[in-house]
Amino acid sequence: MILSATCTTNQVGPNAPIIYRGDLETVLTSAKDAGYGGVEMHIRDSETIDKGLLKDSLERFGLELTSIGTGEAYNKDHLFLSSEDKAVRKAAVERICGHIRHAKDYRHAVVILGLVRGKTSNCSSRKAYDDCLLESLKACAEEAEKYGVYMGMEMINRYECDDLNRIEEGEALIEKVGSRFLGIHIDTYHMNIEEGDIRAAIVRAKDEIVHVHVADNDRWYPGHGHIDFESFGKILKEISYPWAVAVECRPYPDGLTAGKLAADNLKKWFVD
Ligand code: LER
Ligand code: MN
């Protein structure tokens, strides 16, 4: 298991759950100094960034790219996979395919499918949402299979997204898409709201989980609130979860403090 920190070089809101913000050198230095082994980069469009620079910089710092956050496609560009507008749907699929072609240069950089899938409330009916989302996911899965890149369908709480809140919903959709490169991405903050029995849900989906986010119940760094991370760490050990655990919390009281306390706490709880 590798500990990862959320980072961005883009402008994002003060409450966005991304710890390190700033230029590439600054965010990678912060992640390395706090003791992380990898980073999750939140990238608006992989096709328009200097991918070589990112790769070289990560190698220089000895950090892995564990995951690509894709939410800006929805938040800033209003692109989403379930759109009934064919042009929007196509652009959303192309955005995700661009991230997939970027992720292929790394060992296991998961392309996150969170808000970029859209919401049922963005569509004229539940059926339209389901049909459009399935069509788009199948197109993305084709690209993912070509390059052996995993996409992680993130289960997000009901207040932020009106579908795919619970792990079992994710499992059902993944079965419909039918690609082993579409996996489940869990997040302690969302599970704390949505799952009745977190352990049972994780154990049931264990073979499909490709990425993990951690934040406390108040979305501060793990250890600030009342989620039992020691037990959560034991569940990940029980299923022999091999991939990254990325800290995705609000940068409170500031990014450097949040990132360092999160890393110290998680090492204490998760690493033998
Ligand atoms: C994204 O990983 C996430 O967890 C959402 O809550 C983004 O707002
Ligand atoms: Mn998350």
CATH number for the domain including 179? Answer: 3.20.20.150
Range of the domain at 240: 2-270
Angstrom distance (rounded) from CA 6 to CA 27: 9
How many separate domains does the chain show?
Answer: 1
- Compute the half-sphere exposure of residue 145: CA atoms within 13 Å on the CB side of its CA: 10
Residues framing ligand 1 (Cβ under 6 A): 71, 114-115, 154, 156, 160, 187, 213, 248
Q: What is the pLDDT along the chain (272 residues), one digit of tens a residue?
A: 999 999 999 999 999 999 999 999 999 999 999 999 999 999 999 999 999 999 999 999 999 999 999 999 999 999 999 999 999 999 999 999 999 999 999 999 999 999 999 999 999 999 999 999 999 999 999 999 999 999 999 999 999 999 999 999 999 999 999 999 999 999 999 999 999 999 999 999 999 999 999 999 999 999 999 999 999 999 999 999 999 999 999 999 999 999 999 999 999 998 75
DSSP β-ladder status, 110-113 and 244-247 = unpaired
- In the chain, the largest separation of any two C-alpha atoms, in whole Å, equals 50
pTM over cut 0.75? yes
Number of H helices, E strands in the chain: 10, 9
Catalytic amino acids? Answer: 154, 248
Mutate to test the pocket of ligand 1, among 158, 192, 248 (most ligand atoms within 8 A of CB): 248
Residue nearest to atom 6 of ligand 1 (CA): 156
Angstrom distance (rounded) from CA 266 to CA 215: 11
CB 142 within 8 A of CB 151: no
DSSP 66-115: EEEE-THHHHTT---TT-SSHHHHHHHHHHHHHHHHHHTTSSS-EEEESG
Residue nearest to atom 2 of ligand 1 (CA): 114
Residue 243 has phi, psi (to 5 degrees) of -100, -155
DSSP 106-119: SSS-EEEESGGG--
Ligand nearest to the CA of 245: 2
